[in-house]
Amino acid sequence: MTLEKTKLRIASCQFAVDGNIERNREQITAQIREAASLGARAAHFPEATLSGYAGVDVPDFSRLDWDQLRRATERICREAAKHKIWVLLGSAHRLSGRRLPHNSLYVISDEGRIVDRYDKRFCTGAGQVELSADLKHYTPGDRATVFDIDGFRCAALICYDYRFPELYRDLKRRGAEVLFQSFHNARRDHQTFRRRNIWKHVVPATMVAHAASNYFWISAVNSTAKYSMWASFMVQPDGRIAGRLEIHVPGILVVDVDRSLNLWDASAPWRERAMQGKLHSGELVDDPRSRDRTCL
């Protein structure tokens, strides 16, 4: 009989992602080694960490060397196996023919195998700032991705997905305990983005709300490139920030996801009912003064 593990050490990694695949790979492998040396079981990287983000780090993917990207990914897989660590790797995933690629997060096991992949479902598009129009460069995905690391049920999301609470409720239904969410809120030196720079306020607040509402841990990682809007951080299931890195500074945040912590789950008594569509607590009564919405 094996005892259930109570802790999962996660390394939330950040550096200045750019359009140079080899330079990105070198940074990724260096941080994988450091994360492993710190006892982490998973190293989590930002959106488009290896490939660069189309429309921002690179104009588009028309000149991307897909063979180079594949070789770099294989080297990262070997690094994961060498150091016995899981890797959540942001990149582009090529599709067939002339179809646009997915914006993806590869799930690489500690044996160096790609065991799953999350494809960003909500890509920015029509009516939004031109520089952030994902749908010019990417094909959206259509499925949730859940997987186990050392007995912990994990899930993945990417950037703009954070605006859709339905995704988080669905992951809660699927038993998620830990969410790896990768962002790329950086390199946007554009007057419209500067004028609308609400990400530095909205992203942390929204991640805190999603964690506390659904009672799971969230690793939220971002690029440190110029004009980065916030630094990577980890949220506990009670909504408290468990740790945060410095903005514009490459680094690794190591946090233990600990099941033994007695954290407050304010929604616990009624969450399951709410998820089933019963949107109130306690018992309702049949009373005329309750039905009359205009009386004093």
Q: Considering the domain boundaries, does residue 273 fall inside one? A: no
Q: Considering the domain boundaries, does residue 233 fall inside one? A: yes
Mean pLDDT for the stretch of residues 158-163: 96
Q: What percent of the chain has pLDDT over 90?
A: 86
Q: Considering the domain boundaries, does residue 278 fall inside one? A: no
- Identify whether the C-beta of residue 51 lies closer than 8 Å to the C-beta of residue 69: yes
- Say what the pLDDT of residue 129 is: 53
282/191 Cα distance (integer angstroms)? 50
Tens digit of pLDDT for each residue in 63-121? 999 999 999 999 999 999 999 999 999 999 999 999 999 999 999 999 999 999 999 99
pLDDT band at 188 (very low <50, low <70, confident <90, very high): low
Q: Considering the domain boundaries, does residue 291 fall inside one? A: no
Domain CATH number, residue 154: 3.60.110.10
- Say what the pLDDT of residue 1 is: 46
Number of domains in the chain: 1
Residue 285 predicted with pLDDT over 50: yes
Owning domain of residue 91: 7-265
- Say what the pLDDT of residue 190 is: 55
Considering 123-132, 186-195, 214-223, the range whose residues carry the highest mean pLDDT is 214-223
Q: Considering the domain boundaries, does residue 272 fall inside one? A: no
pLDDT band at 198 (very low <50, low <70, confident <90, very high): confident
Q: What percent of the chain has pLDDT over 70?
A: 93
Q: Considering the domain boundaries, does residue 110 fall inside one? A: yes
pLDDT band at 186 (very low <50, low <70, confident <90, very high): confident
pTM: 0.94
Give the number of C-alpha atoms closer than 13 A to the C-alpha of residue 293, restricted to the C-beta side.
0
Q: Considering the domain boundaries, does residue 283 fall inside one? A: no
- Identify whether the C-beta of residue 96 lies closer than 8 Å to the C-beta of residue 64: no
Tens digit of pLDDT for each residue in 121-152? 999 986 555 556 899 999 999 999 999 999 99
Backbone angles phi, psi at 266, to 5 degrees: -65, -30
104/5 Cα distance (integer angstroms)? 29
- Say what the pLDDT of residue 127 is: 57
Q: Indicate the average pLDDT of the chain.
A: 93
Tens digit of pLDDT for each residue in 17-72? 999 999 999 999 999 999 999 999 999 999 999 999 998 999 999 999 999 999 99
pLDDT band at 192 (very low <50, low <70, confident <90, very high): low
14/35 Cα distance (integer angstroms)? 12
Q: Considering the domain boundaries, does residue 165 fall inside one? A: yes
